Amino acid sequence: MGKYPLIKKTEVFIPQALKPIQAIMKRKILFYGILLLLSSCTLNNVEKNESKELKVLSWNVWHGGHSKEYPQKGCDGTKGILKESKADVVLMVETYGCSAQVADELGFYHRLLSDNLSIYSRYPIVKTLTFPDSISTFNFGGAELDVNGKRIRVFAVWLHYLPDERLVPLDKTEEEILAWDNAGTRDDEINKIINILRPMLAETDSIPIIMGGDFNIHSHLDWVDATRNLYNHGGKTVEWTVSKVLQENGFIDSFRELNPDPAKNIGATWYWSDGDIKDRMDRIDFIYYRGKNIRAVQSEVYNSDLPGTLHFQGKDFFYASDHGFVFTTFAFDQGEQPQRKE
């Protein structure tokens, strides 16, 4: 026999002289394992305490971005812009047949509320919110989202386009201008929406509301002293009904909140030109919000000629809509970090 005794194949033989070293190695392995585990927990806690974001994009895509004038080209451009935006929620107006295509392109949950309105979400949709006894889904509807355990209610809006916001009777007094505007249905529509939302407004401390779309009318925040002689305002300041009603009910205009000087940045979502000159640049598309633990941290408007090319996020896309889009990033002050659906 040799120097050492025979051992079973399943055993590891450690010479007596090396056993102290073995014990030290075990202690070191245990120490570094615990250290690694603690580091992982610390990183997870840091991630959970970081500011939480939700990117919301609102866009009237003009007949699904695939009208007869620009069939596949327009649709592809629209889908490309939406995908490149990396938005978490899209509130779409004039969907008309492109709902499934957009949802498939983004890989999002979605709800087609009507031919006109649709909602797309990176996060699960747990409830569809429509109110057919009070207002048509052509004008208004929403969804409740589960953003990693935090509930958010989002709504898409389209208010009637008449009377035409381009034809404001600037030779009239402000009172007469408001009477002209309110002779249509927009004032009734926004008041119906507020009445519908009344029970939910009482819950916005815990369940925020984000509402975006094509409101087809100006904002009183844009028609101020500083702009009375700009943007075809004809020397007027006007307290437009729709935006005033929303403000009076606690809604914040996300774009104007973060771009407070309309003289420097009107945020035009609607161009109207006679030939090559843009003689009208109006803001009629908005993202509003209300909630205790939510705040807008960035808001921009993107627009291009129709048809045209939009340079967006470093890439060029065919632009097939007559409206610009509003893109707002919100931060949540409490709650879990949203787990994005890739």
Mean pLDDT of 227-250: 97
User: Strands 150-158, 209-214: parallel, antiparallel or unpaired by DSSP?
Assistant: parallel
pTM, entire model: 0.83
CATH of domain 53-332: 3.60.10.10
Q: What CA–CA distance (Å, rounded) separates 62 from 116?
A: 10
Mean pLDDT of 33-54: 49
pLDDT > 70? residue 310: yes
Q: What CA–CA distance (Å, rounded) separates 134 from 196?
A: 8
pLDDT > 50? residue 76: yes
Q: Where are the domains of the chain?
A: 19-45, 53-332
Q: Bridge partners of 111?
A: 119
Q: Can you give the pLDDT at residue 119?
A: 98
pLDDT > 60? residue 196: yes
Q: What CA–CA distance (Å, rounded) separates 227 from 97?
A: 39
pLDDT > 60? residue 115: yes
Q: Can you give the pLDDT at residue 7?
A: 41
Mean pLDDT of 191-197: 98
Q: Can you give the pLDDT at residue 186?
A: 98
Judge contact between 157 and 214, C-beta under 8 A: yes
Q: Can you give the pLDDT at residue 24?
A: 54
Mean pLDDT of 258-265: 98
Q: Which is higher by pLDDT, 281 or 33?
A: 281
Q: Can you give the pLDDT at residue 3?
A: 45
Q: Can you give the pLDDT at residue 209?
A: 98
Mean pLDDT of 4-12: 45
Q: Can you give the pLDDT at residue 38?
A: 45
pLDDT > 80? residue 276: no
Q: At what angle do helices 99-106 and 71-85 cross, to 10 degrees?
A: 40
Tens-place pLDDT, residues 138-185: 999 999 999 999 999 999 999 999 999 999 999 999 999 999 999 999
Q: Can you give the pLDDT at residue 4?
A: 41
Q: Bridge partners of 252?
A: 289
Judge contact between 124 and 146, C-beta under 8 A: yes
Tokens of 31: 């120490």
Question: What is the band of 281 on the pLDDT scale with cuts at 50, 70, 90?
Answer: confident
Question: What is the band of 255 on the pLDDT scale with cuts at 50, 70, 90?
Answer: very high
Q: Which is higher by pLDDT, 75 or 256?
A: 256
Q: Can you give the pLDDT at residue 116?
A: 97
Question: What is the band of 339 on the pLDDT scale with cuts at 50, 70, 90?
Answer: low
Mean pLDDT of 86-113: 95
Question: What is the band of 333 on the pLDDT scale with cuts at 50, 70, 90?
Answer: confident
pLDDT > 70? residue 45: no
Mean pLDDT of 63-75: 78
